[in-house]
Amino acid sequence: MARRRKSRASGISEISFSWRGLETIIRLFVAYVLLGLLFLLNLTALPIPHAGVIKPDFVLMAVYYWAIFRPRLIPTWLCFGAGILLDVLSLTPPGLQAFILVLAQSLVRDQRKFLMAQPYISLWAIFGFVAMMAAGIQWGLFGLVNDMQWPAIMPVAIRVLVTLCLFPVVTMALIGTHRFLSPAQNSYP
Amino acid sequence: MQIRSRPRSLIRIATLQAWGPRATSLFFAVAALILFTMSFASPNNMRSLRTTAADIFAPVLAVVNYPIEQAASYVRAVTGIAELQRENTRLMQENARLREWYHAALQLKSDNESLQKLLKVQIEPQHTFITARIIADSDTAFVRSVLVMAGSDQGVDAAQAVLGGEGLLGRIVETGKRSSHVLLVTDMNARVPVFVGAGNMRAMLAGNNTDRPELIHLPPQAQVKAGDRVVTSGHGGLYPHGLPVGEVAAASDGALNVRLYADIDRTTYVRIVKRTDDPNLRIAPVAAPEAD
B265/A146 touch (CB, cutoff 8 Å), yes or no: no
**Cα B41 to the chain's mean position, in Å?**
25
| Alpha carbon distance A181, B283 (integer Å) | 69
This model of the complex carries an ipTM of 0.81
- For A151, the closest of B22, B65, B188 (CB atoms) is B188
Compute how many other C-beta atoms are within 10 angstroms of the C-beta atom of residue B226: 12
- Does residue B165 lie within any of the structural domains? yes
Q: Are residues B140 and B261 in the same domain?
A: yes
- Give the closest residue to A98 by CA, choosing from B63, B29, B48, B46: B29
Q: Are residues B73 and B188 in the same domain?
A: no
A45 to chain B, minimum CA–CA distance in Å? 4
Q: Are residues B61 and B152 in the same domain?
A: no
DSSP-assigned letters across all residues of A27-49: HHHHHHHHHHHHHHHHHBPP-ST
- Whether the CB-CB separation of B192 and B234 falls below 8 Å is answered with no
Mean pLDDT for A113-130 is 94
**Sequence-distant (≥ 6) Cβ neighbours of residue B2 within 8 angstroms:** none
- Whether the CB-CB separation of B161 and B128 falls below 8 Å is answered with no
Contacts of A152 in chain B (CB under 8 A): 141, 208-210
Q: Are residues B232 and B185 in the same domain?
A: yes
Per-residue pLDDT band for A63 (boundaries 50, 70, 90) equals very high
DSSP state of B270: E
- Rg of chain B over Cα atoms, rounded to whole angstroms, equals 26
For A87, the closest chain B residue by CA position comes to B50
> Hey, which residues 94-133 in chain B have their CB within 8 Å of chain A?
none
Q: Are residues B207 and B255 in the same domain?
A: yes
| Alpha carbon distance B287, A31 (integer Å) | 70
| Alpha carbon distance B231, B238 (integer Å) | 14
B65/A45 touch (CB, cutoff 8 Å), yes or no: yes
Helix residue ranges per DSSP H, chain B: 2-5, 8-19, 21-41, 47-79, 81-118
Contacts of A188 in chain B (CB under 8 A): 21
- Is the pLDDT higher at B41 or at B134? B134
- Does residue B249 lie within any of the structural domains? yes
Q: Are residues B264 and B152 in the same domain?
A: yes
**Residue where a domain stops, chosen among B96, B118, B140:** B118
| Alpha carbon distance B134, B179 (integer Å) | 10
Count the alpha carbons within 13 Å of B39 in the hemisphere toward its beta carbon.
Answer: 25
| Alpha carbon distance B190, B172 (integer Å) | 11
A46/B68 touch (CB, cutoff 8 Å), yes or no: yes
> Hey, which residues 167-226 in chain B have their CB within 8 Å of chain A?
173-174, 181, 183, 188-189, 208-211
- Whether the CB-CB separation of B127 and B144 falls below 8 Å is answered with no
Helix (H, G, I), strand (E, B) or coil at B162: strand
Domains annotated on chain A, with CATH: 2-180 (1.10.1760)
Mean pLDDT for B198-209 is 87
Helix (H, G, I), strand (E, B) or coil at B71: helix
**Cα A4 to the chain's mean position, in Å?**
43
- For B31, the closest of A49, A80, A110 (CB atoms) is A80
Compute how many other C-beta atoms are within 10 angstroms of the C-beta atom of residue B203: 24
> Hey, which residues 60-89 in chain B have their CB within 8 Å of chain A?
60-61, 64-65, 68-69, 72-73
Domain of B108?
A: 50-118
Q: Are residues B141 and B246 in the same domain?
A: yes
- Does residue B286 lie within any of the structural domains? no
| Alpha carbon distance B245, B195 (integer Å) | 10
- Judge whether B53 is closer than 8 Å to chain A, CB to CB: yes
Mean pLDDT for B43-61 is 83
Report pLDDT for A99: 94
Q: Are residues B37 and B54 in the same domain?
A: no
Q: Are residues B244 and B163 in the same domain?
A: yes
**Sequence-distant (≥ 6) Cβ neighbours of residue A156 within 8 angstroms:** A135, A136, A138, A139, B141, B142
A16 to chain B, minimum CA–CA distance in Å? 31
Q: Are residues B175 and B199 in the same domain?
A: yes
- Does residue B22 lie within any of the structural domains? yes
- Rg of chain A over Cα atoms, rounded to whole angstroms, equals 20
- Does residue B209 lie within any of the structural domains? yes
Q: Of the segments A27-41, A123-137, B18-32, B200-214, which one has the largest average pLDDT value? A: A123-137
Report pLDDT for B180: 92
DSSP-assigned letters across all residues of A125-183: HHHHHHHHHHHHHHHHHHHHHTTT-PPPHHHHHHHHHHHHHHHHHHHHHHHHHHHHS-T
Report pLDDT for B1: 44
DSSP state of B177: S
Span B32-50, pLDDT tens digits: 999 888 877 777 777 888 8
Lowest mean pLDDT among A40-44, B149-153, B176-180: A40-44
- Does residue B290 lie within any of the structural domains? no
B75 to chain A, minimum CA–CA distance in Å? 11
B54/A85 touch (CB, cutoff 8 Å), yes or no: no
- Is the pLDDT higher at B126 or at A96? A96
| Alpha carbon distance B170, B182 (integer Å) | 6
Report pLDDT for B289: 43
Report pLDDT for A8: 42
Lowest mean pLDDT among A10-14, A18-22, A155-159, A164-168: A10-14
Count interface pairs A-B at CB distance under 8 A: 175
| Alpha carbon distance A26, B187 (integer Å) | 43
- Does residue B174 lie within any of the structural domains? yes
Lowest mean pLDDT among A8-12, A129-133, B119-123: A8-12
Per-residue pLDDT band for B283 (boundaries 50, 70, 90) equals very low
- Does residue B233 lie within any of the structural domains? yes
Name the percent of chain A lying above pLDDT 90: 50
Q: Are residues B65 and B150 in the same domain?
A: no
The Cα-based distances of B237 to B41, B88, B130, B193 in angstroms read 27, 40, 19, 10
- For A159, the closest of B39, B40, B141 (CB atoms) is B141
- For A99, the closest of B27, B36, B188 (CB atoms) is B36
Report pLDDT for B10: 56
Domain total of chain B: 3
Domain at B255, CATH number: 2.40.10.340
Q: Are residues B136 and B269 in the same domain?
A: yes
Contacts of B73 in chain A (CB under 8 A): 47
Compute how many other C-beta atoms are within 10 angstroms of the C-beta atom of residue B154: 17
Report pLDDT for B125: 67
